[in-house]
């Protein structure tokens, strides 16, 4: 039965699985890249001097760390994107529960859905990883991280391992997304399918505060730890804080809307409507905050670690080490940005009928897009503020242990790039699809969905 439920969901809501598919594909690509890099190192015949270059760059450990982070992010981001996909199935799940489907059947169906989309996505990502791995190894050699004797030597036997890891990590992400839809009572599920799920502010807030507290405490501990230990544990501080602020996302967005109210009132009715929409959609939009904050905070920590060290000591870090750090950061920031983009796209597409109804009651297309732009501004500012908090809590103890300063230094171009990149992702997930969706006559949209 679970296979039939999963097959029906995949056919009926195929586009809602785009987020998990892209996330799984990127995860497999990164894993394949790292595995092929390790295989190339093992196949290379290095003399003593060349081996010292490899040891000095610590590339073997770095590939393991990159692969590990890809696994962690795969579980987290697949959970985020699968949550959006399952939200589109709320009415279907409610009906299935009403006619006798058990919570176990719903959970197994979601697990099958996650695995079913993970297999082709992981295969594609692994194959793309061969080409990306070739370029990655060549870039490592050209930047002096690896000696010239290292050549890209793929080990095709490792590709099934990358596929298996992605599939195995996708299932837990799907099961996390299925926890509440599977256990809610049938009558409640039908009510929520029509009116939307309850906010559940208390539980989310407590869990969010708990994770933020864990991140802050761990950060304080790292302030007195050895530099190597502090640097290795920094990612877990970011992860705890990002998940924590993600759970606090609905509250943060409502607070941001309240703070921005005096400013957006100057825009007129569009600003007031945007603030109301952000408040109503705070839970749905908060799903994009975890990957957005993770991308910006992770990039900020990596960049500021190098720029602050250079500013405080007057000596720049080795160019090869900086390049490798920035390259890895770009990979994982892209990973998270893809998850955020797909979550925002799912939310915006889900508002298709609401946008059409708003136009039927008198709003012009231009004014409606103005409302969406105001909403996007609130989301961007909230994400940047939360990312700045996460980056500061993570970065300050690392800087204290490594270069003896408590004050990060980030050049203005890097800050501007963070703002522009965040705004671009949010605009691509909200304003751009809204512009496409509102091109069709509103009455046709409403009639089609009756």
C-alpha pair distances (Å), 45 with each of 153, 158, 296 = 12, 20, 39
| H or E segment to which residue 325 belongs | helix 319-350
Q: Which of 176, 197, 218 is the last residue of a domain?
A: 197
The pLDDT value recorded for residue 226 is 62
260-301 tens-digit pLDDT: 888 777 767 777 888 888 888 888 888 888 889 888 998 898
Q: Same structural domain for residues 313 and 266?
A: yes
Q: Cα–Cα distance between 206 and 148 in angstroms, integer?
A: 53
The pLDDT value recorded for residue 200 is 52
Domain tally for the chain?
Answer: 2
Q: Same structural domain for residues 253 and 402?
A: yes
190-206 tens-digit pLDDT: 565 555 555 556 777 88
Q: Which of 197, 224, 245 is the last residue of a domain?
A: 197
For the cut 60, the answer to whether the pLDDT of residue 158 exceeds it is yes
User: 101, 5 in Cβ contact below 8 A?
Assistant: yes
Share of the chain above pLDDT 90, in %: 11
The pLDDT value recorded for residue 125 is 92
**What is the rounded average pLDDT of the residues 115-120?**
86
Q: Same structural domain for residues 206 and 327?
A: yes
Q: Same structural domain for residues 228 and 345?
A: yes
247-265 tens-digit pLDDT: 888 888 888 888 888 877 7
Highest mean pLDDT among 18-22, 214-218, 220-224, 268-272: 214-218
Count of CB atoms situated within 10 Å of the CB of 386: 25
- Rg of the chain over all Cα atoms, to the nearest angstrom: 23
Q: Print the domain residue range for 40.
A: 1-197
Q: Cα–Cα distance between 329 and 421 in angstroms, integer?
A: 14
Q: Same structural domain for residues 164 and 15?
A: yes
For the cut 90, the answer to whether the pLDDT of residue 18 exceeds it is no
C-alpha pair distances (Å), 174 with each of 75, 118, 165, 179 = 9, 11, 15, 9
361-416 tens-digit pLDDT: 777 778 888 888 888 999 999 999 999 999 988 888 878 777 778 888 888 999 99
User: 328, 66 in Cβ contact below 8 A?
Assistant: yes
Q: Same structural domain for residues 2 and 129?
A: yes
Q: Same structural domain for residues 176 and 221?
A: no
Six-digit token string for 57: 């760059």
Exposed e or buried b per residue across 78-114, where buried means at least 16 C-beta atoms within 10 angstroms of its C-beta: bbbbbbbbbbbbbebbbebbeeebeeebbbbbbbbbb
Q: Same structural domain for residues 338 and 418?
A: yes
H helices present in 88-200, as ranges:
90-98, 103-142, 159-177, 179-183, 186-195
Six-digit token string for 299: 């990039």
Q: Same structural domain for residues 175 and 213?
A: no
**Which range has the worst mean pLDDT, 45-59, 99-113, 138-152, 291-305?**
99-113
Q: Same structural domain for residues 220 and 162?
A: no
Q: Same structural domain for residues 131 and 73?
A: yes
The pLDDT value recorded for residue 347 is 83
432-446 tens-digit pLDDT: 988 888 887 767 666
Nearest to 198 by CA among 212, 211, 185: 185
The rounded Cα 347 to chain-centroid distance in angstroms is 15
Q: How confident is the model at residue 13 (pLDDT cuts 50, 70, 90)?
A: low
The pLDDT value recorded for residue 310 is 86
End-to-end CA distance of the chain: 30
The pLDDT mean for the chain works out to 81
The pLDDT value recorded for residue 196 is 53
Q: Which of 197, 220, 251 is the last residue of a domain?
A: 197
**Which range has the worst mean pLDDT, 59-63, 71-75, 123-127, 241-245?**
71-75
Q: Cα–Cα distance between 450 and 440 in angstroms, integer?
A: 16
| H or E segment to which residue 393 belongs | helix 365-403
Q: Same structural domain for residues 87 and 204?
A: no
């Amino acid at each position: 039965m679970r296979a039939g439920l999963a097959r029906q969901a995949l056919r009926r809501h195929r586009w809602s699985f785009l987020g998990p598919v892209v996330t799984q594909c990127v995860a497999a690509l990164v894993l394949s890249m790292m595995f092929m890099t390790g295989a190339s190192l093992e196949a290379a015949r290095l003399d003593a001097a060349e081996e010292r270059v490899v040891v000095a760059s610590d590339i073997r450990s770095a590939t393991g760390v990159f692969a590990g982070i890809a696994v962690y992010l795969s579980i987290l981001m697949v959970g985020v994107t699968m949550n959006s996909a399952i939200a589109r199935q709320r009415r279907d799940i409610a009906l299935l529960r009403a006619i006798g489907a058990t919570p176990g059947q719903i959970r197994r169906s979601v697990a099958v859905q996650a695995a079913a989309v993970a297999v082709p996505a992981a295969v594609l990502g692994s194959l793309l990883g061969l080409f990306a791995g070739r370029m990655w190894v060549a870039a490592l050699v050209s930047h002096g991280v690896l000696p010239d004797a290292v050549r890209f030597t793929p080990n095709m036997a490792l590709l099934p391992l990358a596929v298996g890891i992605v599939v195995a990590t996708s299932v837990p992400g799907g099961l996390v997304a299925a926890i509440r839809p599977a256990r809610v009572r049938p009558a409640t599920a039908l009510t929520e399918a029509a009116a939307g799920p309850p906010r559940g502010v208390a539980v989310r807030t407590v869990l969010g505060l708990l994770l933020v507290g864990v991140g802050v405490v761990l950060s304080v501990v790292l302030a007195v730890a050895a530099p190597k230990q502090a640097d290795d544990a920094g990612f877990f501080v970011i992860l705890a804080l990002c998940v924590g602020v993600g759970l606090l996302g609905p509250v943060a967005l409502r607070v941001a809307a309240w703070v921005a109210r005096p400013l957006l009132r100057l825009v007129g009715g569009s600003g007031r409507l945007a603030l109301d929409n952000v408040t109503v959609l705070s839970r749905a939009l908060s799903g994009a905050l975890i990957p957005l904050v993770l991308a910006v905070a992770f990039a900020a920590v990596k960049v500021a670690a190098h720029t602050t060290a250079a500013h405080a000591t007057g000596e720049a870090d080795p160019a090869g080490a900086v390049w490798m750090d920035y390259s890895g950061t770009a990979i994982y920031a892209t990973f998270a940005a893809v998850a955020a983009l797909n979550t925002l796209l799912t939310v915006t597409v889900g508002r298709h009928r609401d946008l059409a109804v708003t136009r039927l009651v008198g709003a012009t297309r231009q004014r409606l897009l103005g409302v969406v732009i105001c909403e996007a501004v609130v989301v961007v500012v909230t994400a940047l503020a939360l990312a700045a908090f996460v980056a500061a809590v993570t970065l300050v103890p690392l800087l204290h242990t490594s270069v003896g300063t408590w004050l990060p230094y980030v050049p203005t171009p890097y800050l501007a790039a963070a703002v522009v990149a965040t705004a671009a992702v949010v605009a691509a997930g909200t304003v751009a699809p809204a512009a496409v969706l509102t091109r069709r006559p509103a009455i046709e949209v409403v009639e089609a969905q009756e």
